[in-house]
């Protein structure tokens, strides 16, 4: 019997109006949005549905917004679709996965990612850090160029998204140096990313003690089903390891290729992407053409995923 994994998107998937259709059509989705508003004592839902886009793009808002929409999509699909054997999330999406696995309560997760986003925004002065997506070059070659171009600065692969796309992060000048070198090494394109901070690299080190303090106060339960984590790319069902892995995740690379490969080895053939956009669906198919991935973000995609 083939197994099912639920996967949850990270930052970059946000759009004004995301989740509105689920909110209007399904009471269980509405309950998630209302719980998020209550947890933050503010109208996050209004910002998600109406914008302005500039405010939604601020990391401190983006993170709780995507988490809320993803958990709402999960609430709707879980009621109607097959139970997952595993869950996983891309960066921020790991928090959505932990809510889906019953490890974190939704209000705690919403407040935690608001803090996480705020700490990330504050960790590096604007203009000091940067990120870029490298298209069409093998990940080991990307890593080699990062090592060569660092020159004493921070420069490392931040996200191993699929076999042809690796995102790099670090000091802006180092990312710039590497961009030219990566094109020389054969990259099809190197695209600067419009992000407010250089995520998943050593420049995020100041975030870790602040986030650890926030997460240490939470009640954490054993994830069921297990969560395949970004840091280790293998399943975790141990409550005691949830917080250390989330803290390490801040500076560690997102090993998404390995996460998907690990799930495939565990017998997963069907993936359901819950939340805004279809970024993970595309990545899953590029990692392994034998896998299927359906996304759920509105009634139409819900029907297609259930079919």
The per-residue pLDDT for range 2-43, each reduced to its tens digit, is 899 999 999 988 999 999 999 999 999 999 999 999 999 999
Residues 79 and 162 in one domain: no
Residues 38 and 115 in one domain: yes
3 state DSSP class of 162: strand
pTM given for the model:
0.97
Average per-residue pLDDT for the chain? 97
Within 10 A of 52 (CB to CB), how many other CB atoms are there?
Answer: 9
The C-alpha atoms of residue 136 and residue 99 are separated, in whole angstroms, by 34
Regarding whether 215 and 184 lie in a shared domain, the answer is: no
CATH number, domain of 185, equals 3.30.70.250
Q: Which of 224, 10, 2, 218 is nearest to 100 (CA)?
A: 224
Specify the pLDDT at position 195. 83
Per the structure, the count of domains in the chain is 2
Among 176, 195, 214, give the residue marking a domain's end. 195
State residue 194's pLDDT score: 84
Q: What value does the mean pLDDT take over residues 152-165? A: 97
- Angle of helix 27-40 relative to helix 106-123, nearest 10 degrees, comes to 50
Q: How many whole angstroms separate alpha carbon 6 and alpha carbon 121?
A: 29
Phi first, then psi, for residue 275 (nearest 5°) are: 135, -175
Q: 167, 195, 223: which is the final residue of a domain?
A: 195
Residue 231 maps to which CATH number?
3.40.366.10
Give me the pLDDT at residue 256, please.
98
10 and 88 together in one domain? yes
Residue 295 — very low, low, confident or very high, per pLDDT cuts 50/70/90?
very high
Asked if residue 134 and residue 262 are part of one domain, the reply reads no
Q: Is residue 212 located within the same domain as residue 97?
A: yes
Look at residue 117 and tell me whether its pLDDT is greater than 90. yes
Domain end point (choices 143, 175, 195): 195
Domain range for 14 is 3-123+203-306
233 and 173 within one domain: no
State pLDDT tens for residues 172-220. Answer: 999 999 999 999 999 999 999 988 889 999 999 999 999 999 999 999 9
51-55 contacts, C-beta under 8 A, 24 or more apart = 51/16, 52/16, 53/16
Q: Give the confidence band of 1 by pLDDT, cuts at 50, 70, 90.
A: confident
Question: 16 and 156, same structural domain?
Answer: no
CB 259 within 8 A of CB 231: no
Q: Which of 70, 90, 91, 281 is catalytic?
A: 91
pLDDT digits (tens, 9 = 90+) for 243-278: 999 999 999 999 999 999 999 999 999 999 999 999
Question: Torsion-angle region of residue 277: left (phi > 0), alpha (psi -120 to 50) or beta?
Answer: left
Does the active-site annotation cover 90?
no
- At 230 the pLDDT is 98
Q: Tell me, yes or no, whether 114 and 165 share the same domain.
A: no
Same-domain check for residues 182 and 216: no
In the set 90, 112, 200, 301, the catalytic residue is 200
Are 67 and 143 in the same domain? no
Strand bridging mode 3-8 / 268-274: parallel
Phi, psi angles (nearest 5°) of residue 274? -110, 115
Residue 200 annotated to the active site: yes
Please check the confidence at residue 126 and state whether its pLDDT lies above 90: no
Residues 102 and 179 in one domain: no
d(CA 10, CA 195): 13
Report, as an integer, the average pLDDT of 62-73: 98
Q: Is the dihedral of CA 229, 233, 238, 241 positive or negative?
A: negative
């Amino acid at each position: 019997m083939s197994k099912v994994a639920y996967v949850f998107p990270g930052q970059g998937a946000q759009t004004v109006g995301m989740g509105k259709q689920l909110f209007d059509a399904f009471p269980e989705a509405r309950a998630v949005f209302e719980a998020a508003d209550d947890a933050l004592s503010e109208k996050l839902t209004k910002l998600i549905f109406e914008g302005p886009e500039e405010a939604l793009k601020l990391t401190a808002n983006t993170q709780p917004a995507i988490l809320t929409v993803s958990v709402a999509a999960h609430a709707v699909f879980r009621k109607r679709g097959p139970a997952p054997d595993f869950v996983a999330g891309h960066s921020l999406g790991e928090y959505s996965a932990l809510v889906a696995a019953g490890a974190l309560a939704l209000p705690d997760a919403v407040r935690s990612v608001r803090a996480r986003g705020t700490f990330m925004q504050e960790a590096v002065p604007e203009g000091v850090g940067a990120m870029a997506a490298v298209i069409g070059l093998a990940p080991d070659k990307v890593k080699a160029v990062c090592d060569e171009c660092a020159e004493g600065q921070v420069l490392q692969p931040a996200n191993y998204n699929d076999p042809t796309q690796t995102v790099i992060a670090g000091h802006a000048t180092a990312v710039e140096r590497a961009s030219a070198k990566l094109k020389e090494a054969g990259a099809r394109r190197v695209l600067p990313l419009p992000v407010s901070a250089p995520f998943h690299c050593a420049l995020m080190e100041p975030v870790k003690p602040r986030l650890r303090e926030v997460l240490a106060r939470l009640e954490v339960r054993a994830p069921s089903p297990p969560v395949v984590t970004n840091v280790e790319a293998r399943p975790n069902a141990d409550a005691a390891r949830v917080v250390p892995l989330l803290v390490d995740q801040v500076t560690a690379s997102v090993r998404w290729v390995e996460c998907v490969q690990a799930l495939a080895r565990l017998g997963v053939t069907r993936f359901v992407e819950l939340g805004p956009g279809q970024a993970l669906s595309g990545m899953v198919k590029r990692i392994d053409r034998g896998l299927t991935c359906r996304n759920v973000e509105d009634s139409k995609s819900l029907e297609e995923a259930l079919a």
